[in-house]
Amino acid sequence: MSVHIKNHGGTYPTAQPSAEDRASLPKRKVLQSMVRGSVNRCPNCHEGQLFRGYLTVEHACSVCGEEFHHHRADDAPPYFTITVVGHIIIPAMLAVEMTYRPDLWVHMVLWLPLTLLLSLGFLRPIKGALIGLQWALFMHGFDPHSGEDLPIPDPADTLQ
């Protein structure tokens, strides 16, 4: 059982669930959840959409009701996108330079738009895959035994 913090506003579980709580959680398929997230589908049911805009995540799945609002993808999707795009663009740029030795303007016309298009193309699927990963591993609010996403009690309540 997890430890609870008591205060005048109520009882709140701590952010760290016990081993017993963790063992009671169902097993989720990590790769399947990441693939579902990367194609804009709910990692739980694969029916509802994960995004309502380009990068805006739905509050909850419209089909199964799984909540997504507490995900913590933060800065990871841009970092992974930069890594993936860099590993595609840099070797290709070097290969073209070593093979053809084009003028600088050819590099600019070719690689700047390609970098922009690849970055915009990879960002959303990478963010979806990271949200699917968090869901599968019960991270950042997807764990029902964790209290990390509960509202913080108002300190003014203790002054009465």
Domain ranges (residues) in the chain: 26-137
What's the pLDDT score for residue 9?
44
CA pair distance 79, 115, nearest whole angstrom: 14
Residue 5 clears pLDDT 70, i.e. is over it: no
CA pair distance 22, 145, nearest whole angstrom: 8
Residue 1 clears pLDDT 50, i.e. is over it: no
* pLDDT tens-digit series, residues 10-69: 444 444 656 676 778 889 999 999 999 999 999 999 999 999 999 999 999 999 999 998
CA pair distance 5, 23, nearest whole angstrom: 22
C-alpha of 91 from chain center: 28
Q: Is the dihedral of CA 5, 6, 7, 8 positive or negative?
A: positive
Which residues neighbour 41 within 8 Å (Cβ) at sequence distance 6 or greater?
A: 47, 48, 49, 50
CA pair distance 160, 145, nearest whole angstrom: 30
| 3-state secondary structure labels for all residues of 56-94 | CECCECCCCCCECCCCCCCCHHHHHHHHHHHHHHHHHHH
| Residue 98 banded pLDDT, cuts 50, 70, 90 | very high
Is the model's pTM score more than 0.85? no
* pLDDT tens-digit series, residues 117-156: 999 999 999 999 999 999 999 998 888 777 666 656 667 7
What's the pLDDT score for residue 17?
57
CA pair distance 102, 97, nearest whole angstrom: 6
